[in-house]
């Protein structure tokens, strides 16, 4: 059933470390390629379950795969459309790849997809060559030793009741507003697991690999 599988959505932003990205994929992942994300198809060594796009940045490959051709003039980007389509199809767990890069406008729009998924009670993560991003809201999130550095950014209103343990810069019942982002570049203590929780609001957690 779709709700038991993870949906991986591949965008057109650059990927350098294909080996790492492949290591994060599962055999039963449902893969959606968005337009120029198709340039990653061969190096990711996966089979698409769905292709979506207006094909303004990549030629339609006309593969024997379900393909949704979108109009060039639309409200949703190809990536946003893919996420909304996957939600419509019943997926609850999402991994986004190739969605952060040189285009800051697309990058920020894609980061906010994580808020959209969280608002629906669905799990969402973004990974790139260097980091992993997710939303911290009603459930505490742990940060393992493979992510020695992490940042907490408020991208939605004011977050209150923030607690950080197992880190060089701990917090207890703190507040981070959008106007003052002081939660950048924290460190997990040696031998510890960082734990982040928030009582009110939502935070973007960016875990940075070595």
Domain boundary, last residue among 129, 160, 189: 129
Burial class of residue 126 (count of CB atoms within 10 Å of its CB; 0-12, 13-18, 19+) = buried
Tell me, yes or no, whether 164 and 114 share the same domain: no
CA distance 117 to 83: 9
Tell me, yes or no, whether 39 and 111 share the same domain: yes
Tell me, yes or no, whether 158 and 105 share the same domain: no
Tell me, yes or no, whether 23 and 124 share the same domain: yes
Domain interval for residue 161: 136-208
Tell me, yes or no, whether 11 and 90 share the same domain: yes
114 phi, psi to nearest 5 deg? -65, -35
- The domain spanning residue 21 has which CATH number? 3.40.50.10240
> Which sign, positive or negative, has the C-alpha torsion 188, 169, 104, 81?
positive
Tell me, yes or no, whether 8 and 99 share the same domain: yes
Tell me, yes or no, whether 93 and 173 share the same domain: no
Are 171 and 163 contacting, i.e. CB atoms less than 8 angstroms apart? yes
Domain boundary, last residue among 129, 149, 170: 129
- The domain spanning residue 171 has which CATH number? 2.60.120.320
Please report, in tens digits, the pLDDT of each residue of the chain (210 residues total): 566 899 999 999 999 999 999 999 999 999 999 988 999 999 999 999 999 988 887 788 888 999 998 887 788 889 999 999 999 999 999 999 999 988 899 999 999 999 999 999 999 999 999 999 999 999 999 999 889 899 999 988 889 999 999 999 999 999 999 999 999 999 999 999 999 999 999 999 999 987
The length of the chain is 210
Tell me, yes or no, whether 85 and 156 share the same domain: no
Are 176 and 152 contacting, i.e. CB atoms less than 8 angstroms apart? yes
Tell me, yes or no, whether 173 and 204 share the same domain: yes
Assessment of whether the complete model's pTM goes beyond 0.85: yes
- Angle (CA) 139 142 146, round 5°: 155
Per the DSSP assignment, residues forming a β-bridge with 158 are 177
Tell me, yes or no, whether 170 and 185 share the same domain: yes
> What is the biggest distance separating any 2 CA atoms in the chain, rounded to whole angstroms?
54
Reduced to 3 states (helix: H, G, I; strand: E, B; else coil), residue 173 is: strand
Per the DSSP assignment, residues forming a β-bridge with 127 are 97, 132
Are 167 and 187 contacting, i.e. CB atoms less than 8 angstroms apart? yes
Domain boundary, last residue among 77, 98, 129: 129
């Amino acid at each position: 059933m779709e709700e038991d599988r993870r949906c991986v959505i591949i965008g057109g932003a650059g990927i350098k470390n294909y080996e790492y990205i492949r290591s994060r994929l599962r055999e039963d992942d449902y893969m959606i390629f968005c337009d120029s994300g198709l340039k990653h198809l061969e190096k990711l060594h996966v089979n698409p379950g769905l292709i979506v796009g207006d094909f303004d940045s990549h030629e339609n490959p006309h593969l024997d795969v379900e393909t949704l051709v979108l109009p060039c003039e639309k409200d949703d980007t190809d990536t946003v459309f893919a996420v909304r389509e996957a939600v419509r199809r019943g997926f609850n767990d999402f991994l986004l790849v190739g969605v952060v890069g040189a285009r800051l406008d697309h990058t920020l729009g894609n980061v906010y997809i994580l808020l959209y998924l969280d608002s629906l009670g669905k799990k969402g993560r973004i990974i790139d060559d260097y980091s992993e991003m997710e939303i911290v809201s009603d459930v505490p999130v742990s940060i393992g030793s493979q992510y020695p550095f992490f940042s907490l950014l408020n991208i939605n209103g004011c977050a209150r009741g923030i607690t950080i343990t197992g880190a060089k810069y701990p917090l207890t019942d703190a507040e981070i507003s959008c106007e003052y982002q002081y939660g950048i570049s924290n460190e997990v203590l040696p031998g510890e697991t960082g734990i982040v929780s928030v009582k009110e609001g939502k935070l973007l957690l960016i875990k940075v690999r070595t």
